[in-house]
Amino acid sequence: MKIKLLLLPALIALLMGCGNDDKEISSPTTPPVNPPVEPPVNPPVKPPVTEGNGDLLSPGATGKLSALGGATRLKAERTEALKASLSNRQVKNIILFIGDGTSESEISIARNYAEGASGYLKGLDVFPFTGAYSTYSLMQNSEEINYVPDSAATATAWATGVKTYNGALGIDTFGKAHDSILKMAKKAGFATGNVTTTELQDATPAALVSSVSGRKCYGPSATSKSCPSNALENSGQGSITEQLLMTRADVTLGGGSATFDEKALAGAYKGKTLWEQAQALKYQMPNDLASLKAIKVADQNQPVLGLFARGNLPVSLIGPSSVLDGNKKPATTCADNPLRLDSIPTLPDMTAKAIDLLKVNKKGFFLQVESGSIDKQNHSANACGQIGETIALDQAIQVALEFAKTNPDTLIIVTGDHAHTSQIISNTASSPGKSVSLFTKDNTKMSINYATAKGSQGHTGAQVRTAAYGPHAANISGLLDQTDLFFIMRNAMGIK
């Protein structure tokens, strides 16, 4: 007892010492009792507060990077803040962001380029709860694992809760169709939206509205040839585009208008183009930013189908091609893409409009927003293209976070569908792949390497970051599988 009393003052002193240091510096060696912390160059910015859901983070380092603790991102002890933000009340709205082919590597590259090594992305990096999920797919008609999935299998996983084979949409590995979270939300009375920068028939948006055996079955002709069991003339549900029209989300925005030139081969609209079918089904069809802005209402009487490109929407940034030993060349910067005209809505534009149109529904809404060309530019080893689309994703997330500030019953989830090729490598590495050097915001050379294939680059099998904000956000923490996302969203909305 006497020994304990003697130890008490020392214990109090130690605790007080710890309490004074809010930086939680982790070091492999024992830190000194009072580490000489240099004052930050700029005072820490107070993080934005959202009533009911706790604080968003502002994880930028504000100190001198070479100083002890100067590069730390943690502003304060977070235990109480996280406790206060925990809630499992039923959500009214879910906004799900998917960065296609976007894992930690793509986020790091975009952050370094746009914000510098110690900066942070104001959308992607502010989430209080983060985790990771596995993304593997299965082989067709089999339990066999495929460690490198495609966007069709991964979209089916998060949209329907079931693993499937690469190329399959909305069906399990044995061909059985499963309802998507969008279809279930719609049935339960939620308004629904589906937004992308790629063709609307591309895997991510398509998995929410269709069940087909092959992801390339965009229109009636491809479906007849490659997915015959899905074709209308064989009593199937039709092509991806025909199923998109019949699913009838309240708001659908993206590219892929070319397929609408095709004619239906069977059914009530046989011989008519898919344009004519959409008109007959009372869709409002804006085709540029001005006509999108002019839309006032989107509901089941007059849903919105915005088509802003024949294929994918043009990317935001362009830059030098990756080449062998490109990392050893002088660094450069990205440029705006002249093909990205002001008349074409950006991902933040489409996100803002979709939220605006969907939020009037009393029951709430489910909205999926994809930045789809992060993946496509990764395939092309185009670092600037990839960075621009990651920044567009970040900007779209900021739009949703603004909405959540005044609508705390909103769950925002941000994730990717699978990992991809791009890696930050040494500026002096002798890589067998293609690389390019860019100046980051720190005016520092950063080399990005693409080396998963000799030609078009391939997906990779690493786990992908999950992040969330709002009620039920804590479920996104730790290690999950992609299929967990479907159940997390379904439970959050109270859908049986």
Judged by CB under 5 A, does residue 375 bind Zn ion?
Answer: yes
3-state SS of 407-447 is: CCCEEEEEEECCECCCEEECCCCCCCCEEEEEECCCCCEEE
379 is in an annotated binding site: yes
* Sign of the alpha-carbon torsion through 367, 114, 425, 27: negative
User: Minimum distance between the CB of residue 307 and Zn ion, rounded to whole angstroms?
Assistant: 22
How big is the site for Zn ion, counted in residues (CB under 5 A)? 1
178 is in an annotated binding site: no
| Segment near Zn ion (CB under 5 A); pick from 30-38, 247-255, 374-382, 392-400 | 374-382
The per-residue DSSP string of 364-416 comes to -EEEEEEETHHHHHHHTT-HHHHHHHHHHHHHHHHHHHHHHHH-TTEEEEEEE
| Segment near Zn ion (CB under 5 A); pick from 53-61, 65-73, 81-89, 373-381 | 373-381
Q: How far apart are CA 66 and CA 280, in angstroms?
A: 65
Choose between 122 and 434: whose C-beta lies nearer to Zn ion: 434
Question: Is 151 annotated as catalytic?
Answer: yes
Q: Would you call 477 helix, strand, or coil by DSSP?
A: coil
Choose between 163 and 379: whose C-beta lies nearer to Zn ion: 379
What letter represents residue 170's amino acid? G
- Inter-residue contact 87 to 410 (CB < 8 Å): no
Residue among 148, 152, 202 at smallest CA distance from 459 = 148
Tokens encoding 73: 């991102």
User: Minimum distance between the CB of residue 210 and Zn ion, rounded to whole angstroms?
Assistant: 18
Helices (H), 23-167: 79-85, 104-115, 151-160
| Segment near Zn ion (CB under 5 A); pick from 14-22, 61-69, 190-198, 375-383 | 375-383
User: Minimum distance between the CB of residue 106 and Zn ion, rounded to whole angstroms?
Assistant: 12
User: Minimum distance between the CB of residue 460 and Zn ion, rounded to whole angstroms?
Assistant: 10
Q: 72 Cβ partners below 8 Å, 6+ apart?
A: 23, 24, 25, 61, 63
Choose between 215 and 472: whose C-beta lies nearer to Zn ion: 215
Q: How far apart are CA 347 and CA 357, in angstroms?
A: 15
Choose between 375 and 394: whose C-beta lies nearer to Zn ion: 375
User: Minimum distance between the CB of residue 422 and Zn ion, rounded to whole angstroms?
Assistant: 12
199 is in an annotated binding site: no
Q: Would you call 223 helix, strand, or coil by DSSP?
A: helix
Choose between 111 and 215: whose C-beta lies nearer to Zn ion: 215
- Inter-residue contact 311 to 199 (CB < 8 Å): yes
Choose between 349 and 375: whose C-beta lies nearer to Zn ion: 375
420 is in an annotated binding site: no
Q: What is the footprint of Zn ion within residues 156-175 (CB under 5 A)?
A: none
User: Minimum distance between the CB of residue 199 and Zn ion, rounded to whole angstroms?
Assistant: 13
30 is in an annotated binding site: no
| Segment near Zn ion (CB under 5 A); pick from 238-246, 369-377, 407-415, 439-447 | 369-377
- By beta-carbon distance, which residue lies closest to Zn ion? 375
Choose between 213 and 452: whose C-beta lies nearer to Zn ion: 452
| Segment near Zn ion (CB under 5 A); pick from 36-44, 156-164, 165-173, 367-375 | 367-375
Choose between 60 and 99: whose C-beta lies nearer to Zn ion: 99
User: Minimum distance between the CB of residue 418 and Zn ion, rounded to whole angstroms?
Assistant: 7
Q: What is the number of alpha carbons within 13 Å of residue 364 lying toward its C-beta?
A: 20
User: Minimum distance between the CB of residue 250 and Zn ion, rounded to whole angstroms?
Assistant: 28
Q: What is the footprint of Zn ion within residues 129-148 (CB under 5 A)?
A: none
- The 248-287 site mask, x for binding Zn ion (CB under 5 A), equals ----------------------------------------
Task: Give the C-alpha distances (Å, rounded to integers) separating 473 from 199, 409, 410.
Answer: 30, 11, 10
| Segment near Zn ion (CB under 5 A); pick from 162-170, 368-376, 443-451, 487-495 | 368-376
- Inter-residue contact 273 to 258 (CB < 8 Å): no
In the set 85, 87, 151, 437, the catalytic residue is 151
Residue among 58, 70, 204, 71 at smallest CA distance from 124 = 58
Residue among 477, 470, 459 at smallest CA distance from 493 = 470
- Inter-residue contact 422 to 432 (CB < 8 Å): no
User: Minimum distance between the CB of residue 375 and Zn ion, rounded to whole angstroms?
Assistant: 4
User: How far does CA 243 lie from the centroid of its chain?
Assistant: 24
Choose between 370 and 375: whose C-beta lies nearer to Zn ion: 375
- Inter-residue contact 304 to 252 (CB < 8 Å): yes
The per-residue DSSP string of 43-72 comes to PPPPPPEETTTEEPP-----S-TTSTTTT-
| Residue list, annotated binding site | 100, 202, 204, 370, 375, 379, 417-418, 459
| Residue list, annotated binding site for Mg(2+) | 100, 202, 204, 370
| Residue list, annotated binding site for Zn(2+) | 100, 375, 379, 417-418, 459
Q: What residues are annotated to the active site?
A: 151
Chain residues in the site for Zn ion (CB under 5 A): 375
